[in-house]
Amino acid sequence: MKKITAFLLAVALCFSLCACGKTMCSVEGCKNKAVDDETYGEPYCAQHLKVKKAFDASGAVYENINSAYELIEEYASDIYDAWLAGIYDDDEILEDGIDYLAGELSLTKSELEEGLIYAIASATNSDVSDITASQRNDFIQDSNIIFQVFEDSLFSFCVSVVNGAYEANGETERVQRLLDEAKTQMREMSEKYSDYEHYPALKGYYTTSSSFFDFCQNPTGSFDQMKTTVENYKSTARDYRSDLDYIFGD
């Protein structure tokens, strides 16, 4: 009997020592054993480690999409204001050209001057690099005359100037880079954390921002249709952003 008792005590002591050697998950209330991963400097079980990594990955995606969307929203506002001015302020544009537009948009005069060169190249089906320095100076100096040439489709040419300005100052490329990076990150997320609860909202925010960006680069329809389209994109993006900012915002 004593031998059996001693044996049972030894077994109990053995299990006790094993338990003391376990590293437990640091999440309050979790009784699972931590996995061997030092990413965060504190122990997590497999389940909570996956959630933590999914959260961090989602935060990085949100930051890229959000940065892109802020630029797209400003881009859309300039498209809207240029279109509006081309319809209702045509006399002022025909008289003052770039100087007038610079006072109506968020773009600087120098940015709009570069945009004018891009718009001329687009209208003449030529490459912007084919326009000589002398020609550039003449076009910029006589911008009001250039706008008069396109008087019959003034609003369209004003929008083209804005598109050219965003192309010339690198903002178009920056937005595309942010969206491409977010797309790559989301592809990785879909493989590892597709069941993460905030993934659908991130995907919706990305899709809306990407489509909005495409529209800004090639706006179509009447002014009223364009206005409605922009408002719809903004409203949809605002809903996604509101929900996601609550989760991932500072």
Of 146, 174, 162, residue with least CA distance to 226: 162
The domain in which residue 227 lies consists of: 52-248
Asked, for residue 36, whether it belongs to a domain, the answer is no
The pLDDT value given to residue 229: 97
List per-block mean pLDDT (blocks of 10 residues) for the chain, which spans 250 residues. 49 47 82 83 84 87 96 98 96 93 96 96 91 92 91 96 97 98 93 86 96 96 96 97 86
Asked, for residue 219, whether it belongs to a domain, the answer is yes
Tokens standing for residue 28: 């309050």
The pLDDT value given to residue 21: 53
* Bridge partners of residue 33, in order along the sequence: 24
Would you say 105 and 78 are in contact if contact means Cβ atoms under 8 Å apart?
yes
Mean pLDDT of the chain: 89
Asked, for residue 107, whether it belongs to a domain, the answer is yes
* Cα–Cα distance measured from residue 150 to residue 82, given in angstroms and rounded to the nearest whole number: 14
Q: How many domains does the chain have?
A: 1
The pLDDT value given to residue 18: 46
Angle (deg, nearest 10), helices 46-88 and 223-248: 150
The pLDDT value given to residue 193: 82
The pLDDT value given to residue 6: 45
Asked, for residue 14, whether it belongs to a domain, the answer is no
